[in-house]
Structure 1
Amino acid sequence: MTYRNIIHTLTETRTYRHALFYQFPGGLRFELSKDGSSLTQILTALRKATMICEDALGKGNPFLVHMQQFIFSSGFELRDTIRELRLAGIEIPKIRDVWYEEVYESDEYEDGFWINCVFEMQAFCMENLLWCALVTDFPSFHPNPHCLIYLVNPEKSILIHPYDDRGLDVICRNSMELTILYEKYNAWLLDYDKEVMVQTFEQNKS
């Protein structure tokens, strides 16, 4: 199965550029940071995200990375993205799947398209990737590739989206995998959506 097919199987070929938690009911949404200086928020988010992702992806195990970025017709944006990824120690391997998606009205973009790239990464690159995802709202921090980054465990059918320093979404078809994360990191669940998660996972126990 190709990397692209793995992603499409997990998401049932649905576009998921926006919040996974709302796109796929039954998932988890964690709050990563809230107070402090910009650097403090990023480092706090990195610490929490690393702990969650190591449990979800398997500490020391390779995983898939799905990157998405909107580019205009010229494609010049990719140069900056690739440069920033290299600064972060991320080299996109030759074995990868790349495809394009049209722009939908809901994307609020025009005159361009979304490019997708999926590849396998080793575990030691995880924190570097998380940094890149978490600094997206802080243009003064580098490396900062300004793209959407998703981490995937194909064996467990887990898809993780650290959307910025504030939070991280996790979805999975196996509710038991999510229940483990729900119980272990319950204190980090986002308050705004906690009632929905409590209803989902406490009901699963009965």
Structure 2
Amino acid sequence: MSDFLARLEATFGNCLPEALFYNFDFSLRFELSQRGDWPTRILQACSRARTILDSLPTADDEWEVVLASYGEDFASSLAGFAPELLNIYGCEKEGLRVLGEIYVDGEFQRSLVTLDPPPSTSACLLAAVAADCPALVSPFPASPYLIDWQREVIVWPYDDRGMDVVATSRATLQPIYDRFRQWLLESDLARMDSTFA
């Protein structure tokens, strides 16, 4: 296990499980956009994601950005992708650093890489919410996670529909639950209310 994966395990109790929201006691799942045309959905999703992120007490340069991909040996496979696919993150392929590969019960799950220099959080949010709309943004085969090690928070904007925010402490998420409850995903609202209401 890499040092990065060991740190994830020690801090959060797991290594970025696929169903992030369902694997933490303290977790929120936000609905970022509703029906409409692509530009409307992307703009609404970016606005909501940015507002939620800004409500957390983490400075923009304190987030560590980790990209997760379902391709084994993801960093090496990038040789087959056009360099402009990384443009949205503002980095070059040479800036990718492999963090490790996640296996569950001996089965490959995802490759994890980080970027140097770290991309802006706004670039990460846009890349995530526009991932299913190649007419707006070139699709990039990875999903960004933002990690605040000091406050023990992970933010995962999974696409234009939603974003998970998880923490090891209820107190960390209580203010954003109180402030943005109207944006929480209705299908999981009972679970969140039972923890934070």
SS of structure 2 residue aligned to 1:58: coil
Size of the alignment, in residue pairs? 195
2:156 aligns with one of 158, 161, 168: 161
SS of structure 2 residue aligned to 1:146: coil
- Confirm whether residue 39 of structure 1 aligns to residue 39 of structure 2: yes
Distance 1:23 1:13, change over 3 A: closer
Distance 1:73 1:13, change over 3 A: closer
Taking structure 1 as the reference length, the TM-score comes to: 0.79
AA aligned opposite 2:142? C
Cα distance in 2 between the residues matched to 1:189 and 1:56: 16
Cα distance in 2 between the residues matched to 1:128 and 1:19: 23
The more displaced of 70-79 and 192-201 is: 70-79
Cα distance in 2 between the residues matched to 1:160 and 1:93: 25
2:194 matched residue in structure 1: 199
Query: What does the per-residue CA deviation read over 1:45-76, in whole Å, with 9 as the maximum and x for residues that have no partner?
Result: 00110111122262444310111112257954
Q: Identity of paired residues, percent?
A: 24
C-alpha RMSD of the superposition: 3.1
8 A Cα contact 2:128 2:157, kept in partner: yes
Cα distance in 2 between the residues matched to 1:81 and 1:161: 25
AA aligned opposite 1:27? S
Shift of 1:26: 2.7
SS of structure 1 residue aligned to 2:100: strand
1:11 matched residue in structure 2: 12
8 A Cα contact 1:42 1:165, kept in partner: yes
Shift of 1:130: 0.8
8 A Cα contact 1:3 1:119, kept in partner: no
Cα distance in 1 between the residues matched to 2:70 and 2:79: 9
8 A Cα contact 2:89 2:127, kept in partner: yes
Gaps of 5+ in 1: none
